[in-house]
Amino acid sequence: MRRFLRPGHDPARERLKRDLFQFNKTVEHGFPHQPSALGYSPSLRILAIGTRSGAVKLYGAPGVEFMGLHRENNAVVQIYFLPGQCQLVTLLDDNSLHLWSLKVRGGVSELQEDESFTLRGPPGAAPSATQITVVLPHSSRELLYLGTESGTVFAVQLPAFRTLGDRTIGSDAVLQGLPEDARHRRVFEMVEALQEHPRDPNQVLIGYSRGLIVVWDLRGSCVLGHFLSSQQLENVCWQRDGHLIVSCHSDGSYCQWPVSSDTQHSEPLRNCVPYGPFPCKAITKIFWLITKQGLPFTIFQGGMPRASYGDRHCISVVHDGQQTAFDFTSRVIDFTVLAEADPASAPDPWPVPQPLMTPTPWWCWPRRS
């Protein structure tokens, strides 16, 4: 120990100090630092969390935990699992997509990045033409649909990330399928929502920020129906049987739209402002879930009165005439509801904190301060 007490600079001593006392990260465990995105696979029962430093962490049953790190030091803004596969896609804030897989090597499972992709537009196109806002992994397991700020929906083939120009859904094609009165309104801006029909993979729902919601037929490349709201659209939820669409909006309201053979509705079945009538913050995400008792759960983020609760971070649950708000001490990045896929065998998905992998698991991930 005397050589560490000698005054002055000694190169040999400095090397020994680095070897003996320098800290090196060897393993990570637990909730990640600075979470920025959330994804969940109902079939795998695995939860994925992305961070602002580019890390991806997967959580399953107790003791099941994986971690991957992007080559780029960019924030993960969205995470999507491919249906029925041990694969997921991440979207970074530099507009790049990354395909990840859970693979077994030497008897050990690990999370690996397979491919990366950046959507390119035609020469001279504005950056918004290819700025991705939302991603839809199709149930065919072969396609990704990418909604953009320009209102165009691109189709990308997996796993090669090849853009399919003949399957692109452009604003002009959608406009041709709308009635005359809807064409005169400025209904197109960025794509806010993309969802596949719960029972028919040939139909997808496209929600635009100006309030237009379109049911698009992938096989016939045509509009099957549309819904037009007067408020800016934030998000949508398609009921499990496909007969009802619930949209949430910037004024703190949500609307219920019936889906039928004649899906041309200028007025919603129900328009509700849960915390009205005073001006409210936007409802940014919503779930509308049926149960075996028949009484639905409505779970949404935001929508609080601006004047008295404008600085609160809340998630609300409405069921059987009762409305409960969960007030978090820090900003809620995202949330999801974990429930059984078959409502006939599912218990009520009341969002009570439970260990992951149970029928009524934990459903909300607030950001840690």
Handedness of CA 283, 168, 124, 188 (dihedral sign): negative
Cα–Cα distance for residue pair 318/299, rounded to 1 Å:
6
With 0.85 as the threshold, say if the pTM is over it.
no
pLDDT at position 262 is 63
Q: How many Å from the N-terminal Cα to the C-terminal Cα in the chain?
A: 42
Structure tokens at 155: 């189709």
Region 125-145: what's the mean pLDDT? 92
> Which residues sit opposite 249 in a β-bridge?
233
Peptide bond into 258 cis (omega under 30): no
Do 139 and 196 contact (CB within 8 A), yes or no?
Answer: yes
Is residue 84 scored above 50 in pLDDT? yes
pLDDT at position 10 is 76
* pLDDT tens, position by position, 39-76: 999 888 999 999 999 999 999 988 889 999 999 889 99
Is residue 129 scored above 50 in pLDDT? yes
10 φ, ψ (degrees, to nearest 5)? -125, 110
The residues, any chain, with a CB within 8 Å of residue 291's CB and separated by 6 or more, are 297, 343, 346, 347, 348, 349
Task: Single out the residue of 63, 60, 144, 71 nearest to residue 112, CA to CA.
Answer: 71
Do 256 and 238 contact (CB within 8 A), yes or no?
Answer: no
Q: Which of 2-16, 73-87, 115-129, 237-251 has the lowest mean pLDDT?
A: 2-16
Provide the 10 A C-beta neighbour count for residue 230. 13
Total count of residues recorded for the chain: 369
In this prediction, what percent of the chain has a pLDDT beyond 70? 86
Element (DSSP H or E) covering residue 15: helix 11-21
Taking the C-alpha atoms of 134, 209, 287 and 281 in order, what is their torsion angle to the nearest 10 degrees?
120
Region 80-107: what's the mean pLDDT? 93
